[in-house]
Amino acid sequence: MINYRSSRDLDWPLLVLALAISGLGILQIYSATAGTIWGDTWWKQMLFVVAGLAAMHVIARIDYHRLLEAAPALYLGGLALLLAVLLFGRQVFGSQRWIPLPGGFTFQISEFVKLILILLAARYLSELRGDRPTLRDLWKLGALVALPMALVMKQPDLGTSLTYAAIGGAGVFFAGLRWQHAVALALLFVLVLPVGWTLLKDYQKARLISFLNPGSDPLGSGYQVIQSKIAVGSGGMWGKGVARGSQTQLRFLPVAHTDFIFSAFAEEHGFVGVAVVLTLYFLLLMQIVQNAQSAPDRAGMYVCMGVGALLLFHLLVNVGMLVGRMIVTGVPLPLMSYGGSSVLTVFMMLGLVNNVRLQRFVN
Amino acid sequence: MPLLPPEPDHEQEIIRHPPRRVQREDTNFAAGRVAVVQYAVLGVFVFLLSGFWELQVHRPDYYSEAAERNRIKSQPVLAPRGKILDRDGRVIVDNRSSFSLLLSRENLRFEHLAPIAEGLGLEYDELAAKLKRYDRTRPKYEAMVIKEELSASDLAFVESHRDTGTFPEMELTNSHRRLYPQGGLAAHVIGYVSEVSEAELNTAEFARYKPGDVVGKAGIERMYNDLLMGVDGQRQVQVDNMGRERLVLGVKEATPGRTLQLTIDLDLQVVAELAMEGRRGAVVALDPRNGEVLAMVSRPAFDPNKFAGRIRSRDWKEITSNPDNPLLNRAIQAQLAPGSTFKPIVALAGLETGVLEPGFGVSCGGGASFYGRYFKCHLKHGHGRTELRKGLAQSCDVFFYTLGNRLGIDRIAQYAGLAGFGQKTGIDLPHEAEGTVPSTKWKIRNFRQKWYAGETISVAIGQGALTVTPLQLAYAMGGLATGGVWQRPHLLREQMYTPTKNVTPPAPARKADLTVENLIQVIDGLYAVVNEGGTGGRARLVGVEVCGKTGTAQLASNEALKNTKLGLALKDNAWFFGFAPRQSPEIVVAALFEAGEHGNLAAPIVRDVIKAYFDKKSRQTPRPPLLAQAPAPTPGPGGEAPE
């Protein structure tokens, strides 16, 4: 089991970056929730980070080839759990995403399915015979990704299901998508769009419309984006100071400790703070890419790039939403947003990256 | 790596016997694409950072203002209207606190207007129009009052819908509602307040107010609206997303409106109101020495409380469709023929012009012919030999027909004008009527016809085209009683004028150079009316020398009405004016009892008010009561008879 030389070989820069971001996240959670009913979330988040570190170590120690072998079984288990969530899950804020755990914690299966999909895609793509995936390969992979997507969409959780597509898409991209296929997929997407529109829930449609024109319904779905932009913009260059952001403190900013945490951060720390944190994320992603480049095999590369692509997608969609450049999808900001399942999943993904890194010394 | 076996050539292996599952190790195959991802990460980084740049560095002021607008709400602190007191400082009109709903126009979403209007039971169109005007005339941060006097269900609606997600533009504020006396006491004097209307805002009088302001619409409330209104203050508060107040940032207190003290004496007012209960008409009591209005009643009255804030349409309809027109202040707006109460003016004109020479008299046989027409006296069998004193006391029509005929219309009109008829008295109430004093000029100006001498005969007994208001009657007779000094009637206590710049005190008294002996003759006649078996015996009081005159005024010729249904509806109006004491009078009271049929039926109304005045005076002075336990006055012979 212990197939790396020492903890010295862990990716320490990656770990430091992740902990720095988490730490800033905890501070911001504290600031945004002080004096509210969520006042205890900051220390819960600390627990999640500690638990995440432990989970990361566990994941890092298991040879990822074994995990890849277990991927189909994990995938089936994940599907079963997603189905169970739909059938027996606990409903919060109108969607059914959580499985209750003893101790008052809830468990969001769809977060962990991201891990499973990364592994599954890595395994599937690394075992392809040809140099490039054939159309048939694409169909198969598409079906594998579409199944959990559909289940999560049903919860309904558009954001998370889109992250699955991001994992699949990134994998296909690295496997070497033929440009003809890319064009075909793009055409298919355009054709499916009107059909997909009818499948969307009303609130999802409203979000799309209000993304295109936030003023159309400022107190409905556009409200969140408008308030977020006000929070961000009023922060200015240097920010209003910790716990002094009126948008955050007076709760004009919705869910300021989860999806909109970075708006709260931007209000209180200004453009300078934003630049610092985005730089941290940038370095984190670069570190992951670097691990992908030094992976011992294609599967390792796929795993690392899957993790990187997923985090990039999260960053783009979440932060893009805060400044009004992305549709509101309810995707958390990795490591900063409050949420046990999300924090654990991200640290486990970092565990995968470390795992791949450690494997390069084996052979 | 010497310990490891040599790496197999994968490509070769695949070609020789391709395995079913191979984990390919060449990671370089995707090097280019990984590089693409690195650039993509950089691109996303720049994309996101530029988004923040745009908001935080490029336009931070715009968003700072938006954040401030979110956070800070500015609410008016409504100034309470000034109270209205009577002459003794007793409260006539008070305020009580209630809740009003403000609409924050900064945060208003126009499409919320309809559900808000519906939730509060307001007319949407009206509200939208009001909002439009507000937007034109007032700064955006100023909230607008859209409903006063919120009911419990209104409050529930507001409380449950004013969070950020629903209608955050709704704000509650404390306001003050007018509390008027019950039963319409002094309703016409006080008037009422109501929300300023669209049309009114376009007039000069109300131009300085803003939509939603509650302003005086009638009476004192309107006349002294500027004084009573006060100046609204402002509060700046920090609120959270639920509209809850978190912090008070600044308060500019409201300046309450001024408390007004009126000349009205509630004691007399109540007596007059009771005397008029169930009747149609008016009572005015003046202090002829200074023009102070001691009581003013108009019946039927209305309940001003129904107007406070926003009148319900049902109540409005009920008031406006009433044929007796309760909103009309009869004391200053009813213009009716004064009947025989006008005779003292004719008598004075006769004396002053010398037409009524000593020894002038007529022989009344129940009527007389003038210009080919027979004019009846009210006493069928006639008064017999009648000179001035008897003519006034018994109200002999033939005497005044004859006198009027000799005077001619223009001399009558001259003295009527001198007494104050045919012009506004200048009382501090809106919409005072002028009445009509006919003359040759008047007829030419208004009808382009010459005056016929026969018309003078009717005017001489207070009929014909002559009309007066009850206030004019009291004012005119008060002036006669005080020797030809007409003090302008007014409702605001004198001390109110001095410290206030924007109130014009009443015009100076008018004085006429009348011969004292002539006045005494007339007043003696008026004394005889009440005390020497005249038509006004019912006004008599023991211990006080009351003078007065009855009047029974026809609305139309009795002959013409005899056979019509209207005959019953158009009963004669009963008039009476009285003043006391005879020498140096302190109070003059005029009463109009519409359809009262006989002037002597109006006399007790006047008597009650005068009695109340002197009763009160005797209570307040150490002298023994004048009127207490006095034997009831016995009316003189003929005293009960109609004139």
pLDDT for residue A6: 61
User: In whole angstroms, what is the distance from residue B465 CA to residue B455 CA?
Assistant: 9
Handedness of CA B168, B169, B174, B178 (dihedral sign): negative
| Counted domains in chain B | 2
What does residue B246 show for φ and ψ, rounded to 5 degrees? -110, -30
Question: A174: which chain B residues are within 8 Å (Cβ-Cβ)?
Answer: 30, 33-34
A296 part of contact set with chain B, CB < 8 Å: yes
Residue A234 and residue B34: Cβ atoms within 8 Å? no
Strand pairing category for B260-261 and B84-85 = parallel
Question: B55: which chain A residues are within 8 Å (Cβ-Cβ)?
Answer: 229, 232-233, 323
B275 and B220 co-located in one domain: no
B196 and B245 co-located in one domain: yes
B383 and B241 co-located in one domain: no
Strand partners, B262: B492
B10 is a domain residue: no
B578 and B506 co-located in one domain: yes
What residue in A sits closest to B241 (Cα-Cα)? A252
B149 and B283 co-located in one domain: no
A301 part of contact set with chain B, CB < 8 Å: yes
A351 part of contact set with chain B, CB < 8 Å: no
CA B119 to chain A, closest CA, distance in angstroms equals 18
Is B544 or A194 the better-scoring residue by pLDDT?
B544
A1 is a domain residue: no
* Residue of A119, A177, A224, A252 best to disrupt the B interface, most CBs of B under 10 A: A252
Among candidates A155, A167, A127, which has minimal Cα distance to A297? A127
B493 is a domain residue: yes
Out of A69-73, A152-156, A216-220, the most confident range is A69-73
Q: Considering CB atoms only, which of A127, A131, A251 is closest to B22?
A: A127
CB contacts < 8 A (A, B): 169
Question: A127: which chain B residues are within 8 Å (Cβ-Cβ)?
Answer: 21-23
A25 is a domain residue: yes
A132 part of contact set with chain B, CB < 8 Å: no
Out of A115-124, B129-138, B174-183, B566-575, the most confident range is A115-124
pLDDT for residue B364: 93
B339 and B250 co-located in one domain: no
B203 and B285 co-located in one domain: no
B386-428: pLDDT as tens digits: 999 999 999 999 999 999 999 999 999 999 999 999 999 999 9
| Counted domains in chain A | 1
Contacts of B529 (CB under 8 A, 6+ apart): B392, B393, B395, B535, B536, B547, B548, B549, B550
Q: Considering CB atoms only, which of A230, A250, A270 is closest to B240?
A: A250
pLDDT for residue B311: 67
B439 and B521 co-located in one domain: yes
Question: B6: which chain A residues are within 8 Å (Cβ-Cβ)?
Answer: none
Residue B38 and residue A223: Cβ atoms within 8 Å? no
A89 is a domain residue: yes
Handedness of CA B439, B441, B443, B449 (dihedral sign): positive
pTM for this model (two decimals): 0.67
Enumerate the active-site residues of B. 340
A2 is a domain residue: no
B105 and B243 co-located in one domain: yes
B26 is a domain residue: no
CATH of the domain at B97: 3.90.1310.10
Q: Considering CB atoms only, which of B29, B34, B59 is closest to A292?
A: B34
Is A200 or B51 the better-scoring residue by pLDDT?
B51
What residue in B sits closest to A231 (Cα-Cα)? B67
Q: Considering CB atoms only, which of B51, B56, B240 is closest to A236?
A: B56
Mean pLDDT of chain A: 85
Q: Say whether the peptide bond before residue B604 is cis (omega within 30 degrees of 0).
A: no
Domain that holds residue B534: 266-301+330-620
B155 is a domain residue: yes
Question: A68: which chain B residues are within 8 Å (Cβ-Cβ)?
Answer: 23
**Does residue A336 carry a pLDDT above 90?**
yes
B86 and B139 co-located in one domain: yes
A252 part of contact set with chain B, CB < 8 Å: yes
- Range with lowest mean pLDDT among B47-56, B277-286, B620-629: B620-629
B38 is a domain residue: no
B276 and B348 co-located in one domain: yes
Average pLDDT over residues B448-454: 91
Contacts of B22 (CB under 8 A, 6+ apart): A127, B10, B14
- Those of residues 271-310 in B touching chain A at CB distance below 8 A are none
Domain that holds residue A178: 7-361
CA angle A119, A121, A125 (to 5 degrees): 120
pLDDT for residue B392: 94
**Does residue B75 carry a pLDDT above 80?**
no
Question: B22: which chain A residues are within 8 Å (Cβ-Cβ)?
Answer: 127
Average pLDDT over residues A32-52: 89
Residue A323 and residue B52: Cβ atoms within 8 Å? yes
- Range with lowest mean pLDDT among A202-206, B117-121, B555-559, B625-629: B625-629
A332 is a domain residue: yes
* B522: helix, strand or coil: helix
B251-308: pLDDT as tens digits: 888 888 989 999 999 999 999 999 999 899 999 999 999 999 999 999 999 998 887 6
A75 part of contact set with chain B, CB < 8 Å: no
Two tokens at B229? 């209104």
Helices and strands, number each (H, E), in chain B: 24, 21
DSSP character at residue B57? I
Residue-level length of chain B: 643
**A221 band by pLDDT with thresholds 50, 70 and 90:** low
Count CA atoms closer than 13 A to B313's CA, side-chain side.
3
- Given B232, B261, B290, the domain boundary residue is B261
Out of A218-227, B278-287, B500-509, the most confident range is B278-287
User: In whole angstroms, what is the distance from residue B576 CA to residue B578 CA?
Assistant: 7
B632 is a domain residue: no
pLDDT for residue B589: 97
B310 is a domain residue: no
DSSP character at residue B59? S
B29 part of contact set with chain A, CB < 8 Å: yes
pLDDT for residue B285: 97
Helices (H), A62-157: 64-88, 109-126, 135-153
Q: How far is CA A30 from CA A33, A45, A235, B522, B554, in A?
A: 5, 10, 18, 96, 90
A355 is a domain residue: yes
Rg (CA), chain A: 20
- Range with lowest mean pLDDT among A221-225, B80-84, B324-328, B338-342: A221-225
B475 and B425 co-located in one domain: yes
A293 is a domain residue: yes
Among candidates B304, B89, B280, which has minimal Cα distance to B186? B304
What residue in B sits closest to A263 (Cα-Cα)? B52
Question: B53: which chain A residues are within 8 Å (Cβ-Cβ)?
Answer: 271
* ipTM of model: 0.90
Torsion region of A299: left, alpha or beta (phi above 0 gives left; psi -120 to 50 gives alpha): alpha
A181 part of contact set with chain B, CB < 8 Å: no
Out of A277-281, A297-301, B354-358, the most confident range is A277-281
